[in-house]
Amino acid sequence: MRSKDFEELRDFYKHRLALNYGDDSTKETPEYWDSAAERFAKSSHSPEGRARAEEFLNLFKWEKGETVLDVACGPGTYAIPLALRGCKVVGTDFSSEMLNQLKLQAEKENAPEIECVKSRWLDSNFQIQFDTVLCLSGLGVVATDSDHKAHLGECLEKFYKLSRKRIILLIPHADSHLDDEMRRILGEYDIPMERLRIAMIYYAMVDHGMLPSLQIIQRPFKWTFENFDEACEVLFRKSGIKDVTDTTKERFINYLKKIIQKNKDHSLSLTYNTKQAIFTVIK
Ligand SMILES: C[S@@+](CC[C@H](N)C(=O)[O-])C[C@H]1O[C@@H](n2cnc3c(N)ncnc32)[C@H](O)[C@@H]1O
C-alpha cells in the first residue's frame, strides 16, 4: 500500500512548478512559437545548431527504419538529422509556423519524408506506437492544456503508452540559470528549483510505471540579449529573483560585462555550460 505521504507528491503534477520554472504562460500558446519560428529555425539549422543536435543524437543508437515520434519537434532540430540517418520520423507540434520551417528545411536538405502532425500534445490522438518517443526541450511546455493547467502525469503517461521500445526526454535546464558568481552577487544560496524539478520528474515517471536512467550532461547554452537591462530581466525572472537593489544590479551588470560578448549587430551573447538532464526509459 502506498503511504499517504507519497500520494501528496502527486499534487506537484498539477502545479506550475512542474513546468519551466521562471516562465509565465506566454510560451504555452502556438502564437508565441509561430512568431519565434523563423529565428528558432535559423539557429537550429545553423552549422553550430546542427553540430549540437548531432552530438546529442550520437549519445544513442539509431536503427535504419526505426520509427520515431518527435513530440514538440519545432523546426525539425532533431527530426531532420534523424530522417537523414534513416529513421521514419513523425514530428508533432502545435505551431504551424514551426512545422512550416521543418518542411522548408527538410526540402532544402532533400531529407526523406517527415510526417507532420499539428496538435497540442495533450489533445493529440495517435493510434499507433513508435519505437522511440522523443521530447527534447519540450516537457516544460507540452504538459499544459489550453487553460495553462499543468498535467505532468497525463503527459508522461502518453509518452509511455505510445512508445514501443524507448522514451528519451531532454530537460535543457537541470540547474540554476545563474553561475556561481551571479548567485554570490545576488545572495542566492538555496537549492535551485530546476534541480528540485528534475527530482520530481523522476518521481512522476516512476509513479507512471517507468524506471528511467537519468544522465546529467553539460552542454553550451547561448543567450542573446538586446542590452544589459534585458539580460538582467531575463536572468532574474528565470531564476525567480525579485526586488534587486540598484547597487546589486550594478554589481551584476559589471560581472556580466566581463563574460558577455558584443555582437556586430550590437546584441549581446552570453554562452556558458549548463547542466541538462536526459531521462531514458527502455521498455
Ligand atoms: C523549445 S522548442 C523545442 C523544439 C525542438 N524539440 C528542439 O529541441 O529544438 C518547444 C516546441 O514546443 C512546441 N510546443 C509548445 N507547447 C506545445 C504543446 N502544448 N503541444 C505541442 N507542441 C508544443 C513549440 O511550438 C515549440 O516548437
Q: Please give the distance of CA 223 from its chain centroid, rounded to a whole number.
A: 14
pLDDT of residue 20: 79
Nearest alpha carbon, ligand 1 atom 27: 74
pLDDT of residue 1: 61
The alpha carbon of 189 and the centre of ligand 1 are apart by a number of angstroms equal to 31
pLDDT of residue 89: 98
First to last CA, the chain: 25
* Domains of the chain listed by start with CATH number: 4-177+190-220+274-282 (3.40.50.150)
Whether 56 and 171 have beta carbons less than 8 Å apart is answered as: no
Ligand 1 pocket by Cβ (under 6 Å): 28, 33, 44, 72-74, 77, 93-95, 98, 120-121, 136-138, 141-142, 144
Angle at which helices 246-259 and 228-238 pack, to 10 degrees? 110
The alpha carbon of 29 and the centre of ligand 1 are apart by a number of angstroms equal to 10
Cell numbers given for 152: 505532468
Apex CA 259: angle with CA 257 and CA 262, to 5°?
A: 65
Nearest alpha carbon, ligand 1 atom 4: 74
Which of 75, 77, 81 is closest to 93 using CA atoms? 75
pTM here?
0.93
Instruction: In whole angstroms, give the CA distance from residue 19 to residue 103.
Output: 28
The alpha carbon of 264 and the centre of ligand 1 are apart by a number of angstroms equal to 30
For CA atoms 213, 216, 217, 219, the dihedral sign is positive
Encode the chain (283 residues) as per-residue pLDDT tens digits: 667 788 888 998 988 878 877 777 888 999 999 999 999 999 999 999 999 999 999 999 999 999 999 999 999 999 999 999 999 999 999 999 999 999 999 999 999 999 999 999 999 999 999 999 999 999 999 999 999 999 999 999 999 999 999 999 999 999 999 999 999 999 999 999 999 999 999 999 999 999 999 999 998 888 889 999 999 999 999 888 989 999 999 999 999 999 999 989 899 999 888 999 999 999 9
Nearest alpha carbon, ligand 1 atom 20: 120
